[in-house]
Amino acid sequence: MSRMFLSGSESAAHAARLARVQVISAYPISPNVNIISTLAEMVNNGELDAGFVNVEGEHSAASVVSGASAAGSRTFTASCGLGLAYMHEVLWIAAFMALPIVVAVTSRGMGKTLTTDLSDMSSERDASFLHFYTEDVQEVVDSVLMAYKVSEHPDVLLPSFVCLEGYRLSHTYEPVDLPEQDAVDRFLPPYKPKHAFFDPKYPIMQGPGTMELFTQFKYAQHEALLRAKTILKETFADFGKEFGRHYDLVEAYKVDDADMVIVALGTMAGVVRETVDEYREKGIKLGMLKIRIFRPFPDEEIREALKDVEKILVVERFNSPGAHGMTYTELRSALYREKPLVSCVVIGSADLYHDDMRKIVDMALDREEEFEEWYVEDIPDIDLKDSGWENFQVLSQGKEVEREDIKDIRGGVASGTTACQGCTPLLAMRHIVDAMGEDTVCIYATGCMQATTSRYPRIGWNIPAAHFCFTNVASTGSGVETALRQRGSDTKVLVLGGDGALADIGFQPLSGAIERGHDITYVCYDNEAYMNTGIQRSSTTALFASTKTTPGGKDMKPKDLDRIMEAHGIYVATALPCFPDDLKKKIQKARDIEGPAFVHVLTPCPTGWEFDPSIAVKLSRLAFETGTWVLYEYENDERTISRLPKERKPIEEYLKPQGRFRHLTLQQIAVIQKEVDGKYNSLTSSCREPQQLKRG
């Protein structure tokens, strides 16, 4: 064990190093910057063998470590305040997907402040994370190591926050005992998950939508947090045996004979402990109860510690304007045992019918004690043989399986999805996944292709695939790619999203991931609106097209996504589902390029565009024949035409079959024709023609 003089931030970084984290994401926000800069130095100096990903925002920081954790790697990041709030969406997804990431939080106030309170942590109280609160720099090191041990336990598999108060502890320097690496390795062995990894031999699906089973999954998180109490105590005991420092969920200090006990957590405990000693010297019997773990809340331990105490004072950093302090509220709840009986039945998102309500009322009338229960049905047993996914069962038995042993493989995407008739995005996706090959991982965004292929417990993927959320597909893919490369895997990463996920809400993560140079093939299936949520306008919606949010027609030109991608200096290609050979060729080329590549596929939507599903492919071809969609490639600062129509058709032939254009005037049609002509001529004139140019 080595003695060092470190700040709280530096100690968190050293703990991550000792834990042998494999992927780190970093975005600066005061006061977490010393954590990530210390880790950057460690990676740069060869002290830590980890993938270090500088992201463009905290949303992506959480996405990168979540993606890497889903790929089976041990991950770490740090944030606080508004940065933690920006992570919010992804944190809940990580817990839902049982990803044991660890986040160091240099806690600070929310809003326009750099002062320290715990409002950022309180905002994430119910995200199904474990919450560790540290009093001093030594506890920071120890808590990070223990957080990994508990989070990765198969009976828990939930993420952890380790809170070190911003400035108050993050910038405080104290002597710290850093354990030796071999001792840490004994205490914290390598992370080897069975539920989260990407191996084409085992094409598991991660993160499918749960729909009506959502409350059952939340209950599973609740149960895991309750089990974590036992695992925490076991971990504390193991840590004490290995390193000689002993911890528990709560710490009682001079409580046995106290007339009043002060309850505190975090750095307050040090001040309170000294105050207790001061008053004891005056003959006043004060005591302290320090809460080290706030989630799972240690109610039983608190009741036991305070069972004979008459007066309790909570010193609170968890403010809840308009109500009460959060620690105070939960403490009173844990100690409350007098009439009237106050019980709780959690129904979550379940439908509540009269029969259900009668059952709940009858149960409450029959009970003579307080209770808290969840009103959920058991998650149904799924016969995996019927779904053709025997590899799940083989994996659970610890056996290896070759891909040829997996029955019912029909290309990368199985048949029988819930897509609409004439769905060209699904047609394109089949070609895309098949062109990528079996040794591929697909990370895909919320959208039609997510909703129709992965609703728990039925999924339509025959390659490893994962859905996280709408906004973060590119940054999550960054984490997956980093984790795979870190362990020497050559598996290809496909990031798939619609125009909303890649051109709009997910554009920032996409641009950031491309700038970082991750070896990922990005594919945008563009149906020119938010079809999955009911046909709302996107930035790629065509000029004058009617949607639910532009009922009179969109009065702006669509975003030129291809030119924006070209500006990133990567391989860019356009494609159409009516030319599958051209599409597959471009996907394979993008796959084989070292570094990022982007393929933009126009995918007409019968529902959103309002046309007869039987002409879906024909309409795709009309986009080509009218010059609305030009097929070309951009590589090494040069554009090359892939194919040209023998003779361009007037734009009316493309617009007329689509109900979204039924309101157009002759003048508007002329405007569209002029816009299409201008873009077509500009683009084709800037392109090089290959020696054998296909026409028609």
The CATH fold of domain 2-243: Rossmann fold (3.40.50)
Given a cut of 60, whether residue 398 has pLDDT beyond it is no
Q: Are 9 and 26 in contact (CB under 8 A)?
A: no
- Separation CA 178–CA 394 (nearest Å): 42
pLDDT at 132: 98
Given a cut of 50, whether residue 152 has pLDDT beyond it is yes
Give the mean pLDDT of 666-671.
Answer: 96
pLDDT at 381: 53
Among 262-271, 508-517, 602-611, name the one with the lowest average pLDDT: 262-271
> pLDDT category, 341, cuts 50, 70, 90?
low
Tokens of 501: 């996920």
- Separation CA 625–CA 695 (nearest Å): 10
Given a cut of 70, whether residue 313 has pLDDT beyond it is yes
In the chain, where are the structural domains located? 2-243, 250-291+297-331, 338-395, 419-695
Please, what's the largest Cα pairwise distance for the chain? 100
The residue whose two tokens read 């010059």 is: 627
pLDDT at 399: 42
**One-letter identity of residue 476:** T
**DSSP secondary structure letters along 560-612:** -HHHHHHTTTSEEEEE-TT-HHHHHHHHHHHHHSSS-EEEEEE---HHHHT--
Q: What's the half-sphere exposure (Cβ side, CA atoms, 13 Å) at 129?
A: 27
pLDDT at 384: 36
Phi, psi of 384 (to 5 degrees): -70, -20
- Output the CATH code of domain 419-695: 3.40.50.970
pLDDT at 324: 84
Task: Name the percent of the chain lying above pLDDT 90.
Answer: 68
Quick check: do 250-291+297-331 and 419-695 share a fold? yes
> pLDDT category, 325, cuts 50, 70, 90?
confident
Give the mean pLDDT of 570-575.
Answer: 98
pLDDT tens digits, 220-244? 899 999 999 999 999 999 999 999 9
Q: Which is higher by pLDDT, 25 or 458?
A: 25
pLDDT at 402: 47
Q: Which residues of 275-311 are buried (b: 16+ CB within 10 A; e: fewer)?
A: ebeebeeeeeebbbbbbbbbbbbbeebbeebbeebee
- Separation CA 511–CA 492 (nearest Å): 19
- Separation CA 157–CA 224 (nearest Å): 8
pLDDT at 360: 76
Angstrom CA distances, 631 to 122, 315, 573, 581, stand at 51, 66, 7, 13
Q: Are 164 and 6 in contact (CB under 8 A)?
A: no
The CATH fold of domain 250-291+297-331: Rossmann fold (3.40.50)
> pLDDT category, 338, cuts 50, 70, 90?
low
Among 235-244, 304-313, 566-575, name the one with the lowest average pLDDT: 304-313
Give the mean pLDDT of 524-544.
Answer: 94
Give the mean pLDDT of 649-654.
Answer: 97
- Separation CA 685–CA 636 (nearest Å): 17
Given a cut of 70, whether residue 424 has pLDDT beyond it is yes
For the chain, the residue count is 696
Which residue in 578, 535, 575 sits closest to 424, CA to CA? 578
**Helices 214-243, 81-96: inter-axial angle, 10-degree rounding:** 110
Q: Which is higher by pLDDT, 452 or 655?
A: 655
Given a cut of 80, whether residue 693 has pLDDT beyond it is no
Query: Across the chain, what does the average pLDDT equal?
Result: 89
Phi, psi of 220 (to 5 degrees): -60, -40
Given a cut of 70, whether residue 396 has pLDDT beyond it is no
